[in-house]
């Protein structure tokens, strides 16, 4: 008798009541406005989330790396920047801090933000630093 393999239950972001996901959606909405105004281009690298062992292996082979910030921003005036979003008082993990330090050492700004206001200030400061 062949044993049926159980699939993990997948839940939508809305049903998870995940504050970090809600923060990211809010930030992405604001960034989309900035993009439409021609100030920047942004994307979210597809890191994180549940993966089956086969999926994890395939994504690793394609270059998915742990610790990469949540959002990559390419600004018209400031070049490349990175945003790590954390809900509440959460802090970056050890591997995230390591990647943030590497990016900073390479000359790229990285911010750990827990609000849209912090992201707005980060982007505005980057623009002013590079007129």
The pLDDT tens digits for 48-77 are 777 888 988 888 898 888 899 999 999 988
Residue 123: count other Cβ atoms within 10 Å of its Cβ: 23
Q: What is the pTM of this model?
A: 0.80
Q: What is the pLDDT of residue 63?
A: 87
* Consecutive H or E run containing 113: strand 110-113
CA contacts within 13 A on the Cβ side of 67: 11
DSSP H helices, 1-115, are 13-16, 19-36, 53-61, 94-105
Listed residue (50, 45, 95, 88) closest to 70, CA to CA = 45
- Are the C-beta atoms of 73 and 83 separated by less than 8 Å? yes
Give, in words, the CATH class of 38-129: alpha beta
Residues 6+ apart with CB under 8 A from 85: 20, 23, 24, 27, 70, 71, 112, 113, 114, 119
Q: How confident is the model at residue 5 (pLDDT cuts 50, 70, 90)?
A: low
Q: How confident is the model at residue 15 (pLDDT cuts 50, 70, 90)?
A: very low
What whole-number percentage of the chain has pLDDT above 90? 59
């Amino acid at each position: 008798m062949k044993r049926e393999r159980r699939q993990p239950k997948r839940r939508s972001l809305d049903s998870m009541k995940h504050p970090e996901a809600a923060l990211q959606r809010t930030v992405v909405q604001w960034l989309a406005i900035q993009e439409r105004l021609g100030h920047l281009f942004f994307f979210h690298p597809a890191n994180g989330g549940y993966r089956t062992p086969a999926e994890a292996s395939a994504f690793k082979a394609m270059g998915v790396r742990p610790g990469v910030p949540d959002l990559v921003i390419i600004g018209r005036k400031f070049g490349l920047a990175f945003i790590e979003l954390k809900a509440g008082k959460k802090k970056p993990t050890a591997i995230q801090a390591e990647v943030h330090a590497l990016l900073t050492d390479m000359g790229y700004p990285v911010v750990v933000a827990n609000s849209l206001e912090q992201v707005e200030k980060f982007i505005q400061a980057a623009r002013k630093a590079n007129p």
